[in-house]
Structure 1
Amino acid sequence: MIIHIVAGGPTSELPNLSDFDIKDACWVGVDRGVLTLLSKDIEPVMAFGDFDSITDQELTYVKERIQKINIYHPEKDEPDMELALNWAIEQKPEKIRLFGGTGGRLDHFFANVHLLLKSKAEGIHIELINKQNLMYVQHPGSYKIERDHTKKYISFFPVSGSVENLTLQGFKYPLKNRHIPEYSTLCVSNELIDDNGTFSFTKGILMVIRSSD
């Protein structure tokens, strides 16, 4: 099972959600993201949020359409997206994808980027996706990465300290056992030269961003 969580970010930032509406997908709406899903004829199985970004009339509509809805007080410790993500993690899915989490307020965007770090603690692959980018984090190991003509640029950023022994094979700009210090921009806008490549490192946390122009 793959769980797709759609938050209430600008719809202009969203990819075509129907491309992700596969057989084993489970959809979850967060705040205004519930209306986004319903407008695209996608029925979320769960809804989360304080729903302070929609009108009372819209909330009534949501309650009529969604059987399982979790409404929270606006003054709470966790953002709506994190509440939905915590539920999704409990379901033990193969993968979690977050949509509608970019654009608009930068504090919300950075909060959603931080949520990607839950992938280490929970052992579940989590991606943050918008119309132009896909991002996720990886932990020490060796990984295969395949060419995607829709997102040909691949960038690597150290997260929470430096990354040790980064090796990139099959890339336009290869590396071998390179120390990448915190805040480095050395690995921005790389590209695969083959149908697939590999990246590996022995220490640190690496954020991977795949982008299109």
Structure 2
Amino acid sequence: MIINILAGGPEDHLPDLYQYTETDAIWVGVDRGVYHLLKKNIKPEIAFGDFDSVSQNELSFIESQVAELKRYQPIKDETDTELALNWALEQKPKTIRLFGATGGRIDHLFANVQLLFNPLKSGQDADILLIDRYNEIFLKAPGMYKIKKQAKKKYISFVPLTLDITDLTLTGFKYPLKNRHISLGSTLCISNELVSDCGTFSFSEGILIVIRSHD
């Protein structure tokens, strides 16, 4: 099962959502993201938010279209996006895609990137991808992983989320590495590229942010 979540970030940062409408995909709307989905004739199965970013007319439209609406007070401990993501994780999907979570306010961006850490903390194996028009972002715990070349997102960057990344090894890349120690704040692994159709990356300690991008 795949769960697609559309948060309320700027529309001009969104990719083409229609390419993610597989038959086994469930759509979830968050705050103004619900309205964006409905405008595209994509009906979410459930919606979350305090809906302080929509007009009364837009809210009425949302209420008439969405069967399950989880509405919250603006003052709460979790963001609307976190509430939606927590629900998604409870469904135990294979993949969660998070759209509309970049652009606009930078505090929202940092918060949403950190939300990708939640399944790692709880030991869940769901892949969470933060996707916008130019980037695909995900986190990885220690291990070895395969990564395939994508023509549309040729740049691959590896950014430490924790203080240290130990034994980082990259194979099949334009700039390979072997057992390198990377500290928080390093830009050593920015804008690498695959030279093979498939490469690998591995490390033994830390949490790594992986970013696939295009200009």
TM-score by length of 1: 0.99
CA distance in 1, matches of 2:112, 2:185: 19
Structure 1: distance between partners of 2:161 and 2:55: 39
Question: Residue 67 of structure 2: SS of its match in structure 1?
Answer: coil
1:203 match: secondary structure: coil
Paired position in structure 1 for 2:6: 6
The corresponding residue for 2:193 is: 191
SS at 1:204 equivalent = coil
SS at match of 1:154: strand
Q: Distance in 1 between matches of 2:205 and 2:213?
A: 25
Secondary structure of residue in 1 paired with 2:185: coil
Letter in 1 for 2:164: S
Q: Which residue of 2 aligns with 1:127?
A: 129
Q: In structure 2, what residue type is equivalent to 1:154? A: I
Specify which of 150, 153, 156 is matched with residue 151 of structure 1: 153
Report whether the alignment pairs 1:178 with 2:186.
no
Counterpart of 2:99?
A: 99
The 8 Å contact of residues 116 and 128 in structure 2, kept in 1 or not, is answered as: yes
What's the CA shift for 1:125?
1.1
Answer whether contact 2:168 2:202 (CA < 8 A) is retained: yes
Separation in 1, partners of 2:173, 2:39: 40
Q: Which amino acid aligns with 1:29?
A: G
Per-residue CA shift, 1:144-189, capped at 9, x if unaligned? 0000000000000111210000000000000001111111110000
- Distance of 1:158 and 1:107 partners within structure 2: 19
Extract unaligned runs of 5+ from structure 2. none
> In the alignment, which of 141, 144, 147 is matched to residue 139 of structure 1?
141
> Which of structure 1's runs of 4+ aligned residues deviate more than 2 A?
none
Aligned equivalent of 1:206:
208
Q: Is the contact made by 2:138 and 2:209 (CA closer than 8 Å) also made in structure 1?
A: yes
Cα deviation, residue 118, structure 1: 1.0
**Aligned equivalents of 1:103 and 1:10: distance in 2?**
6
The runs of 5 or more residues in structure 1 that have no matched partner are: none
Q: For this pair of structures, how many residues does the alignment match?
A: 213
Q: 1:56 deviation in Å?
A: 1.0
Q: TM-score scaled to structure 2, two decimals?
A: 0.98
Q: Where in structure 2 are the equivalents of 1:15-54 lying within 5 Å?
A: 15-54=15-54
Amino acid at match of 2:2: I
Contact 1:119 1:137 in 2 (8 A): no
Please give the root-mean-square deviation of Cα atoms over the aligned residues, in Å: 0.6
User: Which residue of structure 2 lines up, in the alignment, with residue 73 of structure 1?
Assistant: 73
**Do the aligned residues in 1 keep the contact of 2:94 with 2:125 (CA within 8 Å)?**
no
CA distance in 2 between partners of 1:114 and 1:136 (Å):
10
CA contact (8 A) 2:160 2:207 kept: yes
Confirm or deny: 8 A CA contact 1:7 1:31 kept in the other structure. Answer: yes
Deviation at 1:206, TM superposition (A): 0.6
